[in-house]
């Protein structure tokens, strides 16, 4: 179902309402992850994975505008919401995210290779509702991973 102006305003309102709550949730998760990592046996794969996820979250957050949101949505997947950004603005922000996450993550005297592949989709060009937008962003992400990853690909309708 296509989004109309009222739907977009409601979505923007919801994003505004949830932004602060999501940021606090992320802060708690990152803090909880740190606490678990410090308490766990050092050098395990779980600890290294936590260190990478925390670094990606922090690096990504550092690239965003005040109005943007980053949230871990599962596993090693993050969602970035850039309200009001046109495709050029989104490309500039997301390009910074890719660059910021290209550096290795230091962990217990080692450097863990890191990188992100970002699939992006913009409304209304890329889809008419959240399900379609997310699905198309996923398709673009898989394209971004193909030639070695560490890049940004926007979904382009055929």
Number of residues in the chain: 158
Return the closest-CA partner of residue 154 out of 116, 126, 124: 126
Q: How far apart are CA 103 and CA 19, in angstroms?
A: 27
Q: Residue 94 in contact with residue 79, Cβ under 8 Å?
A: no
Write down the pTM of the prediction: 0.69
pLDDT in tens, 72-117: 887 788 888 899 898 999 999 999 999 999 998 898 888 888 889 9
Q: Domain ranges in the chain?
A: 5-154
Question: Is pLDDT above 70 for 121?
Answer: yes
- Residue 32: its pLDDT value, please? 47
> How far is it between the farthest Cα atoms of the chain?
53
Q: What topology is assigned to 5-154 in CATH? A: Alpha-Beta Plaits (3.30.70)
Of 45, 65, 53, nearest to 26 by C-alpha is 53
């Amino acid at each position: 179902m296509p989004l109309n102006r009222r739907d977009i305003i409601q979505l923007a309102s919801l994003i505004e309402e949830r932004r602060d709550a999501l940021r606090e949730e992320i802060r708690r998760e990152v803090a909880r992850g740190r606490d678990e990592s410090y308490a766990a046996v050092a050098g395990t794969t779980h600890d290294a994975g936590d260190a990478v996820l925390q670094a990606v979250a922090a690096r990504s957050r550092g690239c965003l505008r005040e109005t943007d949101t980053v949230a871990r949505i599962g596993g090693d997947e993050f969602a970035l919401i850039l309200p009001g950004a046109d495709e050029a603005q989104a490309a500039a922000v997301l390009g910074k995210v890719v660059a910021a996450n290209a550096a290795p993550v230091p962990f217990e005297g080692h450097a863990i290779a890191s990188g992100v592949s970002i699939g992006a989709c913009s409304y209304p060009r890329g889809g008419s509702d959240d399900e379609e937008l997310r699905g198309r962003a996923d398709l673009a992400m898989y394209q971004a991973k193909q030639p070695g990853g560490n890049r940004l690909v926007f979904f382009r309708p055929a």
